[in-house]
Structure 1
Amino acid sequence: MARPGRRQTGARRPAPRDARRVREGGDVIAVLARAVRGLEAAVGRGRMTPALRTEFQAVALLVREQHARVRADEGLTPAARAEQLKRLDGIGTILAKTAVRAPALLTLLAEDAVVSDAARSAAREILREARVETPEPAAEPEPEPVAAPSAPERRVVPQSVVSRQLANPFLAPDYSAVQQRPARPSRLAGWELIGPLLTSFERAGGGDAACMPLPPPSPVRVPAGRELMPHQAQVVAAAAEGHRTFLLADEPGLGKTAQALLAAEAADAYPLLVVVPNVVKTNWAREAGIWVPHRPATVVQGDGETVDGFADVVVVNYDVLDRHVGWLGDFGFRGMVVDEAHFIKNKTSQRSQHVLRLSSRIRERTARALLMALTGTPLINDIDDFRAIWQFLGWIDDTQPLGDLVEALEATGLTPADRGFYPAARRCVVDLGIVRRRKVDVAADIPARRIADLPVELDGAAGRSIRAAEADLARRMVARYETALAARSDVEEPAGGIDPALVRRVARAELKDATAGESGENVFSMMRRIGRAKAGLAADYAAQLARSAGKVVFFAKHVDVMDAAEETFERQGVRFTSIRGDQTPRARQQAVDAFVQDPDVAVVVCSLTAAGVGLNLQVASNVVLAELSWTDAEQTQAIDRSHRIGQTEPVTAWRIIAAQTLDARIAELIDSKAGLAARALDGSDQEVSSSPDVQLEALVALLTDALAARAAA
């Protein structure tokens, strides 16, 4: 931008600041025209940077301001006004056409787009270049301490979402059914109620109900081979009967994801927005495919290039919500689920502000929207943190209770001055939709021991490196296969183009070289790299479990994976102890005692080989398997550190699996081998296959897939 020119001095009286008079008639429009042509050319070259988005919004802001100035300027003749408006309309047309070519710019043209400080600064520079008086910012009241909105230059609109909006005008949401409640005289109008409502939970006794009345479970249509547990079916039945807001606070392992998806089905609340931590977003898409397979699901990654704009379930993680909140608010969702809802407890954080904005938009535009906050955190801890969750559900706003909660409080006939107000108020809140069940409460519903797979996406450089290394391993085996096949030129071409016997020979040779350390990237080094890449995600999930469900046993195979997990726990303030192979017996026992006896030690980080046998860790009912074993028996022994005689709760083992990698293949092989063992030995826990069998089968599958892909290309 050019430097601002010197101000002239003299007796001429300056124009009022708010008029922003153009000194050399038309300079601003001329500068805007040059700027918009530059933007058009930059976008045409495929150049898209934060600075370009900032300048684009600055130009759009000035075009709107100049429109208003020209229309209000009584000193202009009608002909001059029409001429300037025509030129401004031309600039606006170029802006619109440029935004169509780069959909990430579309949200910046919206009337309600938040203008960033960078864009305002760029607009002032453009005015100075045009030699226009720029007003000083008017003094404003001191703002409340809330998070600054995300810079709009980060906002995006996936192209498939634009296509959805253009493909069928009938897909546009219908807001006509939303009805506003008429204002009624309130006996409690003069009372401050939010504080007493929170206090009512702090005063609650141990025997006070923490769960709304739920209807008996009724038959629910689920996919073949699936069965809903009775406690899950109760929530679905409540949604079918018309309940639309839930704070679902069941302990981890009780199937909150399935309850939410099927409750949305019962409430006709699709399309459904699901906001989750990064570590579980892939699992949500997988669970949607299991429980509501007729509802397409899409996961928002990064800027959303792979988003399916026609999906019924849109899963987005908190970390990228800032750049997608614009189009998500206009999508027409009929329901919204927030998983690990304690993530929004800080109302001043960006993630909380975005979630509350989306919730408000859905409630304003959708009659009887389904809103579900999922968290395993007990309600009696830090109850003030639940302000944001209650606001998300539409029970309160910043200052007072709303809607159904007001009516319920009015119906009690009590005020905060009455002794009976607090238990009655707590009951009113609970009845709005708080559902809290513990494992011990529904032990008859769930197996005594179960394994829950949690697929995670390996993003960034580590994920790309692992996928590249896996491709190199496959290419090396393909080259071996083709060399061996060429040496057998007298043999007839195998049926289907792939010789299974030769595939196994090549895989066996590869495994032998890897065991002897004679090959480069191999199945062992691949699994170790995958373990390191998963370590942070696995530890993050373990920390979430520890906060919501109590003590957690964390298993890993490699020391560097254990180290990485412990660094994550330290960063998050989670106290832990460690059991490793290089410890003395005394140090090992001290670590066990600390985990078992100290209530503040939330996690024990265990070596899969050193701690897989001989330990009693039944104080925990949640186990995280950060790395896969090579056999089901080794995996079972690790889980049995918690699942043993004396354990009073069902045990859940959360197996962290890197999706679309060798990790997922090996998980499937371990499970299939375990099934074969059970059938062959009639329930015996002796293993049929050894570790080399699983390693060999993994290489066979990798080579077979690579050969099939090569043949199809």
Structure 2
Amino acid sequence: MAQRAPRRSGASRPTSREGRRPRARDEEGILPVLAKAVRQVEAAAQRGPVRPGARTAYQVVALLVREERARVKTDPEVSEAERSAVLTRLDGIATILAKTAARDTSLLALLAEDATVSSAALSLKEDMLRAAGREVEPEEEPEPDETAAAPAAPQRIVPPTVIARQLANPFLAPDYSAVPPRPTTNRLGGWELLTPLFRAFESGGDATCMPLPEDPDLPMGMRGLHLMRHQAQLVAAAAEGHRTFLLADEPGLGKTAQALLAAEAADAFPLLVAVPNVVKANWAREAELWTPRRTSTVVHGNGETVDGFADIVIVNYEILDRHVGWLGEHGFQGMVVDEAHFIKNKTSQRSRHVLELSERIRSRRLNPLLMALTGTPLINDIEDFRAIWQFLGWIDDTKPRMTLMAALEENGLTPADHGFYKAARTSVIDLGIVRRRKVDVAADIPSRRIADLPVELDDEAGRSIRAAEQELARRLVARYESALATRKVSVVVDGIDHDLVRRVAEWEREDGGSDKTGDNVFTVMRRIGQAKAGLAADYAAQLARNVGKVVFFAKHIDVMDEAEQTFARRGIGYSSIRGDQTPKARKVAIDAFLTDPEVSVVVCSLTAAGVGLNLQVASNVVLAELSWTSAEQTQAIDRVHRIGQTEPVTAWRIIAAQTIDPRIAQLIDDKAGLAARALDGSDEEVGSSADVQLEALVTLLTKALEKRQAAAPATEVPAAADVLEVPEVTEA
């Protein structure tokens, strides 16, 4: 009989709840309760469609995993080893949740932040907490106040410049110039048609793309940008009068440019663009590139900086609630919804706002330009597209609208007829469904390209980063001014002494690693990477749901940790390749990504996974942090872009706007050369990492001096060549 190992001396079992260590939760506490519940849900999903009781349990387990993770990460009484052990077990539970959702993707709606938590779910949550030995304090209901006013409506904002525009244009006359065709028969009047329409897509069929002009013009785009043929086809369709599009091209095929140029072709301005927060800055940049004659404005927070007279208004879903009022009265001629699968849950707040806005736009203009952009294939979970079709005006809550009904009547068939489903599917597609894959338009796009995705860091971390950059710039200016003060021979320098700027940057780079100098260019870039981690992971999760496997690269462990936690919360299966793994663990992680359909993302260290791997099962790469050299970046992309890859590869480089990040990206590109980096795949190193660091410091110092000089006249200063010595500067 096996003997029980003796307990080590000094390791006494705690006798009170307060003294119990988290490691004792292997057999008690919340973790075993969650583990048991998630296994029961997993087993239920394996038997068939998940029933309501199991769905409730699934949602409650997910809620408790989130709460427990947040509690453990912030509990000062938990040691690092204990915290790591608990988080590992929570990750295991989250992985089972993700695998279960892969069997029944309707469960993903329960993970949304705005998902409804039923009273049954709240009751089950209390039961689980009691089973874990935790006391559940019932919420105290406030005594009714008969004198209290009714609950306040959601805060509604009207920015000052919007009011100014309304006063300048007091009469926004409705436009009813284009009347949709009316059905000439009423053969389908007594039929329920929405369910048959959705079923027509579930069974698959021909390619999901409306007829497009075969030979569109391929004009030179603005600022030397060229339209690709597949992009020009959609723009030509808009120019010919088509006004509703469900644009479902795969990521990397330029849906943003197509939407903007379609609006230009349709003269659909002012244009409203509703997007996720992670791509808001990218839309502003693309609008400037493709429609430079149009002004664009981005709505932040309460809209204090909104330009009410702009042609393009970009707003993220999260703040629609406070702006939906004035947006509905603004007189938009068109509306674009990016990542349109975000509105598939019609009960969510953002979906209700989007549908309200489209309805109000149609009430003023009968034939506005309405575009829903998403890379999600239409043949999966077609019911999820009910809200999108309603946004486009193809259906309402219960039946097809006039245009679609006229097309169905024209087919001369009813749901009882054999050919109805194929004909109905074609009728819906002809309303404006456009779906192209990378392999379908491979001749249009390079075999490998890098797409920069700017994101905004508008939280506390972003403000801290910008403050750190300013402090670094102040230190550089102090060094520059100190160097000027040590010169012996005075000469007149017209403006900034750029030779001295470069020498000051070199001094900073040489001793910038010293902790007495505060934040240096390395620590600033690391902080930027940490702040971008969640946004980069969110975008990778969107890609994973849209097109399948994604490779996620980061430089630092904490960025990888944040990304993995985001994937777990989103129900995305992932594996991880790190430098501290054993060869066996590394092989298991790689094989899981290559062969397991439930593992959608592999989170890779740039240094540990940048070479020696073949990950060509994916065609999309997310670069969450910038490299200091182009070779490191190229090596990472080449894990996917290599011999045997059958699809064009897109590397999405996440760039933090309004920081030094864009300048670093530009420097890397300038040093490498566009052709070597994006066309021929050369690994030749053009310039070193030290060059990029030096030029970044030169940029910071030059910009700071330009700001100072703008408010002061030129002064008599010594030449850079006369500097004899530079005293040590320790404070700005």
Both structures adopt the same fold (TM-score exceeding 0.5): yes
**RMSD of aligned residue pairs (Cα, Å):** 2.2
Cα separation, 1, equivalents of 2:614 and 2:267? 47
**What residue is the counterpart of 2:201 in the other structure?**
201
Task: For residue 274 of structure 2, give the secondary structure of its aligned residue in structure 1.
Answer: strand
1:189 aligns with 2:211: no
**What residue is the counterpart of 1:162 in the other structure?**
163
Cα separation, 2, equivalents of 1:676 and 1:414? 56
Aligned partner letter, 1:125:
T
Task: For residue 655 of structure 1, give the secondary structure of its aligned residue in structure 2.
Answer: strand
1:358 aligns with 2:380: no
Are the structure 2 counterparts of residues 538 and 339 from structure 1 closer, same or farther at C-alpha, using a change threshold of 3 Å? same
Q: Could you tell me how far 1:684 is from its partner in structure 2?
A: 5.4
Which is further off, 188-197 or 359-368? 359-368
Contact 2:182 2:406 in 1 (8 A): no
Contact 2:260 2:291 in 1 (8 A): yes
1:237 aligns with 2:259: no
**What residue is the counterpart of 1:495 in the other structure?**
494
**What residue is the counterpart of 2:60 in the other structure?**
none
- Aligned match for 2:692, one of 671, 694, 697: 694
Cα separation, 1, equivalents of 2:204 and 2:154? 47
Q: Could you tell me how far 1:654 is from its partner in structure 2?
A: 0.2
Under a length normalisation based on structure 1, what TM-score does the superposition of the two structures give? 0.77
**What residue is the counterpart of 1:340 in the other structure?**
339
Aligned partner letter, 1:339:
D
Cα separation, 2, equivalents of 1:188 and 1:591? 54
Task: For residue 515 of structure 1, give the secondary structure of its aligned residue in structure 2.
Answer: coil
In the TM superposition, what are the counterparts of 1:368-517 in structure 2 within 5 Å? 368-488=367-487, 490-496=489-495, 498-517=496-515
Which entry has the higher C-alpha Rg, 1 or 2? 1
In the TM superposition, what are the counterparts of 1:587-606 in structure 2 within 5 Å? 587-606=585-604
Cα separation, 1, equivalents of 2:179 and 2:204? 35
- Aligned match for 1:566, one of 557, 564, 567: 564
Q: Could you tell me how far 1:491 is from its partner in structure 2?
A: 2.7
Q: Could you tell me how far 1:454 is from its partner in structure 2?
A: 0.3
Q: Could you tell me how far 1:153 is from its partner in structure 2?
A: 4.3
Contact 1:211 1:435 in 2 (8 A): yes
Contact 1:178 1:365 in 2 (8 A): no
Cα separation, 1, equivalents of 2:145 and 2:323? 25
Contact 1:613 1:641 in 2 (8 A): yes
Cα separation, 2, equivalents of 1:390 and 1:220? 31
Q: Could you tell me how far 1:223 is from its partner in structure 2?
A: 1.0
Q: Could you tell me how far 1:367 is from its partner in structure 2?
A: 3.4
Contact 1:204 1:423 in 2 (8 A): no
- Structure 2: 5+ residue stretches without partners: 1-142, 712-732
How high is the sequence identity, in percent, across the aligned residues?
72
Contact 2:573 2:601 in 1 (8 A): yes
Greater RCO, CA 8 A, separation 6+: 2
Q: Could you tell me how far 1:504 is from its partner in structure 2?
A: 1.2
**Pairs aligned (count):** 567
Aligned partner letter, 1:159:
P
Task: For residue 313 of structure 2, give the secondary structure of its aligned residue in structure 1.
Answer: strand
Are the structure 2 counterparts of residues 309 and 221 from structure 1 closer, same or farther at C-alpha, using a change threshold of 3 Å? farther
Cα separation, 1, equivalents of 2:444 and 2:651? 17
In the TM superposition, what are the counterparts of 1:154-303 in structure 2 within 5 Å? 154-169=155-170, 172-175=172-175, 177=177, 186-205=186-205, 208-216=206-214, 217-220=216-219, 222-303=221-302
Task: For residue 527 of structure 1, give the secondary structure of its aligned residue in structure 2.
Answer: helix
**What residue is the counterpart of 1:100 in the other structure?**
none
Cα separation, 2, equivalents of 1:398 and 1:673? 56
Task: For residue 213 of structure 1, give the secondary structure of its aligned residue in structure 2.
Answer: coil
**What residue is the counterpart of 2:608 in the other structure?**
610
Q: Deviations over 1:3-37 (max 9, x none)?
A: xxxxxxxxxxxxxxxxxxxxxxxxxxxxxxxxxxx
Aligned partner letter, 1:198:
F
Are the structure 2 counterparts of residues 124 and 186 from structure 1 closer, same or farther at C-alpha, using a change threshold of 3 Å? farther
Q: Deviations over 1:169-212 (max 9, x none)?
A: 46x3544647587686521110000001001111224xx22111
Contact 2:182 2:403 in 1 (8 A): no
Cα separation, 2, equivalents of 1:203 and 1:683? 41
Are the structure 2 counterparts of residues 182 and 407 from structure 1 closer, same or farther at C-alpha, using a change threshold of 3 Å? closer
Are the structure 2 counterparts of residues 313 and 489 from structure 1 closer, same or farther at C-alpha, using a change threshold of 3 Å? farther
- Aligned match for 2:663, one of 652, 656, 665: 665
In the TM superposition, what are the counterparts of 1:76-225 in structure 2 within 5 Å? 125=147, 152-169=153-170, 172-175=172-175, 177=177, 186-205=186-205, 208-216=206-214, 217-220=216-219, 222-225=221-224
Aligned partner letter, 1:372:
M
Q: Could you tell me how far 1:255 is from its partner in structure 2?
A: 0.4
Cα separation, 1, equivalents of 2:488 and 2:263? 60
Task: For residue 637 of structure 1, give the secondary structure of its aligned residue in structure 2.
Answer: helix
Cα separation, 2, equivalents of 1:636 and 1:323? 43
- Structure 1: 5+ residue stretches without partners: 1-120, 128-136, 138-149
Contact 1:545 1:552 in 2 (8 A): yes
Aligned partner letter, 1:160:
T
Contact 2:528 2:656 in 1 (8 A): yes
Are the structure 2 counterparts of residues 527 and 485 from structure 1 closer, same or farther at C-alpha, using a change threshold of 3 Å? same
Aligned partner letter, 1:580:
R
Contact 2:610 2:639 in 1 (8 A): yes
Q: Could you tell me how far 1:547 is from its partner in structure 2?
A: 0.2
